[in-house]
Structure 1
Amino acid sequence: MSDHPVAEPNRPAAPSRSASAYVTEAREVRAFWERLGLPGLVDVHTHFMPERVLDKVWAYFDAAGPLTGMKWPITYREEEDRRVALLREFGVRNFTSMLYPHKAGMAEWLNGWSADFAARTPGCLHTATLFPEEGVEHYVRRALESGACVVKSHVQVGAYDPNGALLDPVWGLLAEAGVPVVMHCGSGPAPGKYTGPEPVGRLLARHPRLPLIVAHMGMPEYTDFLDLAERYEEVRLDTTMAFTDFSERLSPFPVEERARLAGLGDRVLFGTDFPNIPYPYLHQLRALERLELGDDWLRAVCQGNAARLFSLTS
């Protein structure tokens, strides 16, 4: 695959869902956060990337059945402008543009695209990414200087060790700057050579102040990543796909660990994986609600914690 993947015919001739279905869902999503008295939602795990790259990602999920044993239909397979509009209709005030390289030579180009996307998309948290390669410290520093406030690391797709020598100064840079890293480091939906809590534990032992957001609650190694969050005060977890019916069939969250979520209520952040989810956006919110951890917990997770972390105004 080239650094700039060629688009594949994954885009439907018609929208994924009907306009009326979107209107109904937007009304229900808004009712959810309005009941909590929130000004809206902050979603720390949404994906926007160059069209050619996104087409490759969608092709991956279209073929994900053999990996997961379940079909993975993309619920929001829409053009970019429509996807942004949907988030606004849902009342998502701030969101990210999570993007990631699968090999060397892509990250700096992706960062350029992401900077442009953030500049033309109000409410988007300027997102950068990285890969263990020569020059990574330079281009991450440049991304921070241009306003990036969150970085995406995908250990599974990139198939790299987060403890590699090329990345070590980058983690130090991000820790010093206080810029959060959303890292897909759990072994779901399929394990990778460097996924799991052990590599992350070694990373945090060297950089205990690194603001790390563990994607997907660390699925399926939930317990081990909760341990790390309790050990390191700058470790947070995002809810992306966790607790949903889809993920509960694949990697159920241990019921006995639910009380620990309450104790870490100030360090759990709302995330969804929009648009690449196999169910409606509303379902992620309902999945959090049925944990029965209370409205204060929901308010913190769905907006307050991220607003504080990213210094967002209401």
Structure 2
Amino acid sequence: MDEANNVRKIWMELGLPGIVDVHTHFMPKNVMDKVWRYFDSQGPLIGREWPITYRADEAQRVATLREFGIRKFSSLVYPHKPEMAAWLNQWARGFARQTPDCLHTATFFPEPGAAGYVAEAITAGTQVFKAHIQVGNYDPNDPLLDAVWGLIEDAGVPVVIHCGSGPAPGDFTGPDPIARLLGRHPRLPLIVAHMGMPEYSAFLDLAERYENVRLDTTMAFTPFVEATMPFPTSESARLIALGEHILFGSDFPNIPYGYAEAVHHLIDLPGVDDAWRRNVLHDNAAKLFGLS
């Protein structure tokens, strides 16, 4: 069975109309090429061999997701320096316009003017923001972001935020800065990328405490991650109980294994039932993003 049929078989047997993948990357070509070169060089935030399974041109990558039956996906762009976010937002807006199955995505960076372009993105219909604390190397509690978080909280636009300390810790990664942020903005709709690895337990705590905190499954539970940052079996019951706070994410195309493998390792977790699988693969995200 080819991979597309394998993926489609999973969601069809669950009676779903497809999968919603909240964590995929589409970027301007020059930016994506730089990201891939970084992975190829095993940069310091990676530290291990990391082949890109779905290295292809943009059109082919979109076609691949459609072949898999991915109903909605994202174009998670993120800046690593000032004066980059607004340009990325313009690109992502155009990409969403020409790719109707992509969630309109935007990003931000702690810099003067951030509140202005975030407000503009919200007005333009942004459906999800991306924040990358590790790559951007900034404190989410930077005063330059105070107005940004307020705007996002009031608008209720979800933020996929890479804030855990995997695959390598950063100056501002970990649950403590996010706990402080939520203390000031308790209604923020955060989607903690990668289940917050390796600080899984602390981020599950935040999901239990705050109604609008969710976690995405990106790369979690796969052998590639389990080898170095295993999800604690002692937290399995909480993972199941928080099933309405968990969203599927893949990190496509930047994954060192097949898409079907990632889905299988998720749905084959001990103790999960079909209702949990349907919620995580589709229903939770469909509700969050208002998909009919």
TM superposition score normalised by structure 2: 0.98
Alignment identity in percent? 64
Q: Name stretches of at least 5 consecutive residues in structure 1 with no aligned partner.
A: 1-22
CA shift digits 1:248-303 (9 cap, x unpaired): 01200000101101111001000000000000001111111221311110000000
The structure-2 alpha-carbon separation of the partners of 1:202 and 1:67, relative to structure 1 and needing over 3 Å to count, comes to closer
Counterpart-to-counterpart distance in 1, 2:146 and 2:283: 31
Where does residue 161 of structure 2 map in the other structure? 183
Letter of the structure 2 residue corresponding to residue 275 of structure 1:
P
Aligned-partner SS, 1:208: coil
1:85 matched to 2:31? The reply is: no
Q: 1:64: how far off?
A: 2.0
1:138 matched to 2:132? The reply is: no
CA shift digits 1:19-40 (9 cap, x unpaired): xxxx810000000100101000
Where does residue 161 of structure 1 map in the other structure? 139
Where does residue 252 of structure 2 map in the other structure? 274
Where does residue 13 of structure 1 map in the other structure? none
1:104 matched to 2:104? The reply is: no
Alignment partner of 2:29 out of 44, 48, 51: 51
RMSD of aligned alpha carbons: 1.1
The structure-2 alpha-carbon separation of the partners of 1:259 and 1:123, relative to structure 1 and needing over 3 Å to count, comes to same
Counterpart-to-counterpart distance in 2, 1:25 and 1:180: 30
CA shift digits 1:102-158 (9 cap, x unpaired): 000100000000000000002110000000000000000001111101000000000
Q: Name stretches of at least 5 consecutive residues in structure 2 with no aligned partner.
A: none
Contact 2:165 2:199 in 1 (8 A): yes
Counterpart-to-counterpart distance in 1, 2:61 and 2:46: 26
Between Structure 1 and Structure 2, how many residues are aligned? 291
CA shift digits 1:58-106 (9 cap, x unpaired): 1111122765553100000000000000000000010000010000010
Where does residue 214 of structure 2 map in the other structure? 236
Aligned-partner SS, 2:180: helix
1:301 matched to 2:280? The reply is: yes
Where does residue 174 of structure 1 map in the other structure? 152
Counterpart-to-counterpart distance in 2, 1:296 and 1:100: 33
Q: How does 1:8-157 map to 2 (within 5 A)?
A: 24-64=2-42, 68=46, 70-157=48-135
The structure-2 alpha-carbon separation of the partners of 1:40 and 1:204, relative to structure 1 and needing over 3 Å to count, comes to same
The structure-2 alpha-carbon separation of the partners of 1:67 and 1:140, relative to structure 1 and needing over 3 Å to count, comes to closer
